[in-house]
């Protein structure tokens, strides 16, 4: 099946065998191939080089490539596993795997910790959270006085920073998330269960003889 497509995948640096990617993730082979359809569409939206750059991810998230956003930048940096400034197909599948409904909760907690630990010190610091709150207010055009922001931070750190050293470590984050499970909602994408029906064209481009469901 799909022999006429067989050379096109060479245009995708970092392309990995769907069977292998499936064996390392919660995705079936068909789901990995459906994700490739999504990857092709995002990675060709600005520069057709088989890789996703920051502008392309922003465009996919906001339908507007000029809208620079701190959180989209964080997602990009975490998906750019090899820190090459671009996301290849293997990075894309492995990163999305954390968002699969069946992915281990532990992986979701660790990913969310890294998301908020912007400078990678191993702690979520008050200043980082304040920067993110300010970015959110800018993005959503919500208005809050500085003292209100400080009040929210006081309350949050009072609850999360158990040893009150001004920063949240990984174990404090685990406990905080356990008490506030809604914080992990963004870490699960129900869409990933239906990826083969969202991108049915994968069937025509499949390089696998028997498409597993």
Beta bridge partners of 168: 124
- The answer to whether 203 contacts another protein (rule: CB under 8 A) is no
Residue with tokens 């281990």: 104
- The answer to whether 66 contacts another protein (rule: CB under 8 A) is no
Our CB check for another protein shows the closer of 10 and 63 to be: 63
- The answer to whether 141 contacts another protein (rule: CB under 8 A) is yes
Residue with tokens 């088989």: 50
User: How does DSSP classify residue 212?
Assistant: -
The C-alpha angle with vertex 195 and arms to 194 and 201, in degrees rounded to 5, equals: 125
Considering only 17, 49, 107, 139, the residue that binds another protein (CB under 8 A) is 139
Our CB check for another protein shows the closer of 61 and 208 to be: 61
Choose the stretch contacting another protein; rule: CB under 8 A; options: 8-16, 81-89, 191-199, 202-210: 191-199
Binding mask of the shown chain, residues 30 to 59, with x at each position contacting another protein by CB under 8 A: --------x---x-----------------
- The answer to whether 81 contacts another protein (rule: CB under 8 A) is no
- The answer to whether 182 contacts another protein (rule: CB under 8 A) is yes
Classify burial at 203, counting beta carbons within 10 Å of its beta carbon; exposed 0-12, middle 13-18, buried 19 or more: middle
CA 60, CA 63: separation in Å to the nearest integer? 5
Q: How many CB atoms lie within 10 A of CB 168?
A: 26
CA 194, CA 101: separation in Å to the nearest integer? 11
CA 124, CA 138: separation in Å to the nearest integer? 21
Three-state DSSP class for residue 124: strand
- The answer to whether 152 contacts another protein (rule: CB under 8 A) is yes
Our CB check for another protein shows the closer of 19 and 67 to be: 67
Name the site residues for another protein (rule: CB under 8 A): 38, 42, 60-63, 69-75, 96, 99, 115-116, 129, 132-133, 135-137, 139-144, 148, 151-153, 155-156, 159-160, 176, 180, 182-183, 185-186, 189-191, 195, 198
């Amino acid at each position: 099946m799909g022999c006429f497509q067989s050379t096109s995948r060479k245009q995708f640096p970092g392309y990995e065998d769907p069977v292998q990617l499936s064996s390392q993730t919660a995705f079936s082979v068909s789901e990995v191939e459906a994700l490739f359809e999504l990857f092709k569409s995002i990675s060709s939206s600005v520069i057709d080089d088989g890789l996703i750059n920051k502008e392309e991810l922003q465009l996919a998230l906001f339908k507007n490539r000029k809208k620079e956003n701190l959180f989209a930048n964080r997602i990009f940096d975490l998906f750019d596993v090899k820190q090459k400034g671009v996301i290849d197909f293997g990075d894309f599948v492995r990163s999305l795997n954390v968002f699969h409904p069946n992915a281990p909760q532990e992986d979701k907690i660790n990913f969310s910790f890294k998301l908020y630990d912007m400078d990678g010190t191993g702690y979520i610091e008050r200043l980082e959270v304040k920067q993110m709150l300010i970015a959110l207010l800018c993005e959503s055009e919500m208005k809050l006085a500085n003292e209100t922001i400080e009040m929210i931070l006081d309350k949050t750190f009072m609850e999360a920073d158990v040893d009150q050293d001004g920063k949240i470590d990984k174990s404090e984050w685990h406990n905080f998330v356990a008490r506030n499970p809604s914080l992990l909602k963004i870490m699960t994408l129900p869409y990933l269960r239906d990826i083969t029906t969202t991108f049915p064209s994968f069937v025509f481009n499949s390089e696998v003889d028997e498409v597993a469901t």
